[in-house]
Structure 1
């Protein structure tokens, strides 16, 4: 493996593997033809990760990491008004912490995996499921990624105020399945495609591990929703292509449903019913030449470049097509884009993207996007201010 030799800002060695440049391996979408991002972004809360779900009580619930002196907490977002045509989102929602420590850190953190993060959140008819990943901050000096060692699921029946820590064993998921990200549908899981819950798992195809950033691929699992916490009921996508879906309970047979070499993030996916497409935001970190480089490989201000790529697909397993790309995303390398289903217009042409990043963006960052589909004459009228110049 070729290594780039480099000295960090403090004079220390920061050499890293020189992987091929980050060029998305997917064709451009012929369904979403154009994208208009709002030039304004709105910041709330604090922390990062932000798995989100639209709950039965009409609230959005979110998981955040590394804030308020704790690696993980649960937030409730109340929508006061939904006005996608307005210049900013000021006063359109409010958000509050409802659970500052959903699991006992002393019990669930280990020397090998001393930290926990919220990977997925899902409301099914008023019951909230939180998937947790146990991780460290990297063990490869030449490609230092946050490594996920194992994961599990806990359940809440009181809107996130408390969780049953014994819902599943803490090694419910291991290895390349350690980071579980639930596919989102409508309010309380209404509008789901069938009776299953679906989840994506980021992984490295070369070492069989799971990382928070700069993976190779996403695997896809599903389980009957009434058996979500029964490990033997989970099965994994093993189809030979997107036109021939197949499933197996043998996780070793799972094959990727999305692949982007050393540039696959711990991604969130949501169904946009208005345009009948699954939307996925992908991120990972790069150097100034667009070669993959994890965020913790360098120190600020050298480390914070990221690439954003957005994809659409007719099925949870694809085929994915690219509809937006930003090679210098955010203020300091943003990450984990998410499209909350509650904040999509009925026709699906305007969506709100939630993300976070480092420093100024280390919070709940919201930006609107307008979509122009094949056959549309123009962007939605409500997007008229998105490109407004002061």
Structure 2
């Protein structure tokens, strides 16, 4: 068969077949249409947001600190500072993945999005304000009534996804205690994150603290890899009962007469699904200005900047799409005005309400990557805006 491709625009070409039956031409056109429609095989699982039309990023504002340390999901505490955990690095003092290195540390970020400064609260005792007392990883921290809570997944010697404990601190991260109870991979659950509201969780929709957990299909795999059957579960516990144990958490199981119904961990049903998969960590916050829940998660392949940002009017949905980066158009592909070292390895994006304008449009986000001590393996900030007009 002789094929002729005529290109008028990048997104506009015609495939012609000569001397062959029409059926073959139809098959070729169907394959082409599907490829264009799904964006190289990737299409967001949800329609466009009716509120947020997209995201605009100002790459000339890109700042970096704590080289060699990744993660940093932040919460806004009642002392007006941000707190969050880093992993496998020396934090802001070490500024390396060797010097002052700890598997799990906690940082305090003071200041606003353009003029922040990072401090190591809990980490290597030679470099931090306080010495760390246990290992693990975390992508979930929240401040509630002056207490910091942190979801901590198991250390690598057990397998990072093997189980997750809750930790708490009454002194802004200087010391932590870890719960004896845990959620385990056999619960079909993996790395959770909290839904963060405003300062010290002000503006919360009710007296509950909400968390998203990632669905685990293969309970024998404890590596940081994509979850091909991308599903998220939603759990909640009364803020006064967070420390009481597994039974304090109730799980979304369905909707009845327009209201969410809650049950045991074994009755849980997904509130979010993406056929392209879900990464091994995620972030979530409530945009107080736009009154939308914002969820960020990888899809398709990890450490490639292939991330989706979604919004919803309630923690359980219905979800719509704000931005869906793909293999071809990934986060950071174009960075006008950014002079910092770069590699394609970003796996995590997060927002917080302290670094958000009152109308919910302008933000400073933070992101991290897997540069093994270089480039995006660090705490990165970037100013931008949600496009709503």
Q: TM > 0.5 between the two?
A: yes
1:55 aligns to 2:66 (yes or no): no
The unaligned stretches of length 5 or more in structure 2 are 1-39, 91-100, 125-130, 333-342
Cross-structure match for 2:150:
130
CA distance in 1, matches of 2:257, 2:381: 32
Cross-structure match for 1:264:
278
CA distance in 2, matches of 1:269, 1:22: 22
Contact 1:219-1:256 at 8 Å conserved across structures:
yes
1:351 aligns to 2:363 (yes or no): yes
CA distance in 2, matches of 1:352, 1:274: 14
1:45 aligns to 2:57 (yes or no): no
TM-score, structure 2 as length reference: 0.74
1:70 aligns to 2:69 (yes or no): no
CA distance in 1, matches of 2:148, 2:157: 28
CA distance in 1, matches of 2:294, 2:154: 26
The unaligned stretches of length 5 or more in structure 1 are 1-19, 83-88, 109-115, 139-145, 285-291, 295-303, 377-390
Shift in Å, 1:208: 8.8
**1:95 partner SS:** strand
Cross-structure match for 2:249:
234
Contact 2:161-2:223 at 8 Å conserved across structures:
yes
- Where do 1:101-180 residues align within 5 Å? 104-105=133-134, 116-134=136-154, 136=156, 147-165=160-178, 168-169=179-180, 171-175=182-186, 176-180=188-192
Cross-structure match for 2:331:
329
1:195 aligns to 2:195 (yes or no): no
**Structure 1 segments of 4+ aligned residues over 6 angstroms from their partners:** 208-211
Shift in Å, 1:306: 3.2
CA distance in 2, matches of 1:157, 1:32: 37
Shift in Å, 1:137: 9.3
**Aligned residue pairs, count:** 311
Contact 1:242-1:318 at 8 Å conserved across structures:
no
Contact 1:308-1:329 at 8 Å conserved across structures:
yes
CA distance in 2, matches of 1:323, 1:117: 28
Shift in Å, 1:179: 2.0
Cross-structure match for 1:95:
118
TM-score, structure 1 as length reference: 0.74
Deviations 1:252-279 (A, max 9, x none): 1111111113521221100011010011
